[in-house]
């Protein structure tokens, strides 16, 4: 893989990328101003970029253009969306509360979408999937190993859920405690959670390792293609 430098702008960009990569890598030596400089550049650029894309890709075609060029229905609809949008800007002014109702629309829609999705997309299908894992007709595998594995999956699912059950029975004069049964199942759940988190940790490391490989690859190519040439010319 090469750096694909086709123009001066690309060359400058690659050089800038090389410098910025080194600035961030300096964090390995410890937190330092160079790393913080790169981090703040990143925050500013990413926020600006997101704003540009949002304006260009969403607000102009969805809100502004229909207002100017749209038909009657589109115009009214755009006005209807424009009013809460403008009130939403009140959130960054001293009259924050004026934007509450517009924010309420956003929150209400988001909450309902999340609830509906969780019910129809995760809760019901995953519950059915758990039940079906021990149903031979569903899996088509009736070996003892499959039964054992299905049992382990069910045990892991239930015990993990139970581990996060923090309901207690409180009696006067006693420290509130979970049911002994739930406590024991919860201990088993801890094992499954540790296993899942172990796999997750390994996955995050593998993802980060791939990013490191990509960056070292970039540095390697930069040194090979540009750095050595620069050194030679000097």
Pick out residues in 57-76 that bind other proteins (CB under 8 A).
57-63
Among residues 198, 228, 229, 230, which is the contact residue for other proteins, using CB under 8 A? 198
Q: How far is the CB of 110 from other proteins (least distance, A)?
A: 5
Q: Counting contacts by CB under 8 A, is residue 228 touching other proteins?
A: no
Q: Counting contacts by CB under 8 A, is residue 161 touching other proteins?
A: yes
Q: How far is CA 179 from CA 101, 158, 168, 185, 190, in A?
A: 44, 16, 7, 10, 16
DSSP 70: S
Q: How far is the CB of 177 from other proteins (least distance, A)?
A: 21
Nearer to other proteins, 92 or 234 (CB): 92
Is-contact 105 84, C-beta < 8 A? yes
Q: Counting contacts by CB under 8 A, is residue 85 touching other proteins?
A: yes
Q: How far is the CB of 147 from other proteins (least distance, A)?
A: 12
CA distance 94 to 59: 25
Q: How far is CA 223 from CA 21, 24, 74, 220, in A?
A: 13, 17, 55, 5
Pick the piece of the chain touching other proteins (CB under 8 A) from 175-183, 211-219, 225-233. 211-219
Q: Counting contacts by CB under 8 A, is residue 229 touching other proteins?
A: no
CA angle (165 as vertex; 161, 167 as ends), nearest 5: 160
Which two three-digit tokens encode residue 147?
């039964």
Q: Counting contacts by CB under 8 A, is residue 226 touching other proteins?
A: no
């Amino acid at each position: 893989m090469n750096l694909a430098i086709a123009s001066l702008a690309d060359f400058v960009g690659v050089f800038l990328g090389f410098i910025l990569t080194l600035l961030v890598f300096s964090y390995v030596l410890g937190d330092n101003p160079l790393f913080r400089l790169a981090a703040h550049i990143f925050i500013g650029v990413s926020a600006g970029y997101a704003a540009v894309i949002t304006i260009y890709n969403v607000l102009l075609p969805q809100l502004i253009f229909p207002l100017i060029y749209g038909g009657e229905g589109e115009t009214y609809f755009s006005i209807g969306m424009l009013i809460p949008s403008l009130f939403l800007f009140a959130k960054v002014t001293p009259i924050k509360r004026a934007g509450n109702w517009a924010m309420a629309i956003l929150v209400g829609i988001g909450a309902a979408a999340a609830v509906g999705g969780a019910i129809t997309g995760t809760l019901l299908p995953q519950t059915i999937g758990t039940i079906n894992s021990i149903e031979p007709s569903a899996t088509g595998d009736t070996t003892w190993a499959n039964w054992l594995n299905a049992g382990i999956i069910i045990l892991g699912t239930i015990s993990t859920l139970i581990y996060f059950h923090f309901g207690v029975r409180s009696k006067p004069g006693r420290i509130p405690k979970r049911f002994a049964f739930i406590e024991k199942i919860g201990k088993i759940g801890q094992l499954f959670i540790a296993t899942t988190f172990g796999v997750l940790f390994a996955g995050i490391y593998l993802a980060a390792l791939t990013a490191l490989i990509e960056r070292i690859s970039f540095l390697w190519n930069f040194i090979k293609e540009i750095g050595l040439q620069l050194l030679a010319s000097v």
